[in-house]
Amino acid sequence: MQINDLMIFKAVAEHNSFSKAAAATHTVQSNVTARIKMLEMEFNATLFARTSRSIQMTDAGAELLKTAKQILLMIEQTKTAINGGEQPVKGVVRIGCIHTTAALRVPGILQHFGESYPDVEFKLKTGTSAALVKEVLSCQLDGAFVAGGITDPRLSVQPILTEKLGIVASSLVKSFEQLQQSGRKLKLIVFSDGCSYRKLAEQITKDWPVNKISLIEMDTLEGILNAVEKNLGVTLLPVALIEKLYQYKSLKVFNLPGDISQMDTVFVKRNDVGMSKAYHEFYSNIVAGYSA
C-alpha cells in the first residue's frame, strides 16, 4: 500500500464516484478501480458496495477513511514542520449544512472566513440533519451545521445559535385558527425523513383538531416555499428565513408558543479525527463568532 493509494481511496469516498475521484486525483478511472481493488485485497474487506449506478461506502470503508485522513494529515503536518516558517492556510474543507442554515447563515460565515483565508476551498453539502450526521460519522464530511439534540458520544457538539420557528402558510390563510379548523384536512410540506423541522412539525400538529394530516415531501427549500405560497399546505421554518430572504413571497408566518417555538443549530464533528490547518481555522472562527 502506498500513500497515493490512500489519496485515491479518500477521493472516491468523498465524491462517491470513481470517475470524479479520477478527475480529482488527475488520473484515469481504470487506475482508480485498480487501486481500490488492491486495497480491498490487502484488507480482505469490501470498501465500497457497487451497483450499476452508484457506490456506497461500507463500514470497513468508513474505518479506513478515518485512518487514511489521519495518516495524510500527519504527512502534511510533518512537511510543514520540516519546511519551517509560516505557511499559507490552504486546502479543502468539506462541510454539511441543513437547507435553512445554508440559505440564511452560511453565506455570511463563508464570506467572513474567505476574506481572511482566500486560499481555502469549501465543498458544501446540504441535507437533513440525520443524513449529514451520518456522513460526519463516516468521515465523508469534516463537520456539519445541523439541528440540536445530537447525543452521539463520538461527536463533538458546538452550539451555534437558536432559531425562532413559525408555521409558514400562504397569505390566503386568514388566521392560525383557520389552520386548526375542526374537520379540515391539513398537508405538511416537508423535507425527507430525518429532517428535524419535519419531526417537530409532526409533533406540533398531531394534537390539532383537524380531520387528517398528510405529508408532501420535497427536496428543495424553494420547492417547499413555492408549494406553500400556492396554498397546497403549510410548513415549519425559522422566522428569520422568511423575513430576511423570502419577504417578496405571498406568505404568512404564525408564531408558536414559547416552549415549542425554538430549535438550536449546532456544529458537529468527530472527536477522534484530527483537523487540517484550514479546517482548524474555520472551526475556531465559527466558535469565536458565535460564542458569547
The yes-or-no verdict on residue 259 having pLDDT over 70 is: yes
Q: What CATH number does residue 33 fall under? A: 1.10.10.10
Lowest mean pLDDT among 67-76, 92-101, 238-247: 67-76
Instruction: Check which CATH number belongs to the domain holding 252 and give it.
Output: 3.40.190.10
Q: Would 33 be classed as within a structural domain?
A: yes
Mean pLDDT of 48-54: 83
Q: What pTM, to 2 d.p., does this model score?
A: 0.86
Task: For residue 223, tell me if it sits in a domain.
Answer: yes
Residues 225-234: pLDDT tens digits?
Answer: 999 999 999 9
- Of 84, 106, 129, the one marking the end of a domain is 84
Residue 102: predicted pLDDT: 94
44: pLDDT strictly greater than 80: yes
pLDDT at residue number 265: 94
- C-alpha distances (whole Å) from 51 to each of 15, 16, 48 are 16, 12, 10
Residue 226, exposed/middle/buried by CB under 10 A (0-12, 13-18, 19+)? middle
Mean pLDDT score of the chain, rounded to an integer? 90
Query: Tens of pLDDT along 243-256?
Result: 999 999 999 999 98
Structural domain contains residue 16: yes
Q: Report d(CA 154, CA 161) in Å as an integer.
A: 22
pLDDT value at position 225? 96
Of 132, 269, 264, 246, nearest in space to 197 by CA = 264
- Kind of pairing, strands 48-50 and 185-190? unpaired
**Residue 211 domain boundaries:** 164-262
In a domain, 236, yes or no: yes
Question: What is the total count of domains within the chain?
Answer: 2
Name the domain boundary from 84, 117, 139. Answer: 84
**143 domain-assigned:** no
Write phi, then psi, for 121 (nearest 5 degrees).
-100, 140
Average pLDDT over residues 133-161: 93
For residue 287 the three cell numbers come to 466558535
Domain boundary among 84, 106, 135: 84
Is 194 a domain residue? yes
In a domain, 130, yes or no: no
pLDDT in tens, 151-199: 999 999 999 999 999 999 999 998 888 888 767 788 999 999 899 999 9
Task: Give the per-residue pLDDT at 272.
Answer: 87
Residue 247 is assigned to a structural domain of this protein: yes
Q: At what angle do helices 106-116 and 277-290 cross, to 10 degrees?
A: 120
pLDDT score, position 86? 67
CA atoms within 13 A on the CB side of 67: 10
Burial 112-138 (b: 16+ CB within 10 A, else e): ebeeebeebeeebebbbbbbbbbbbbb
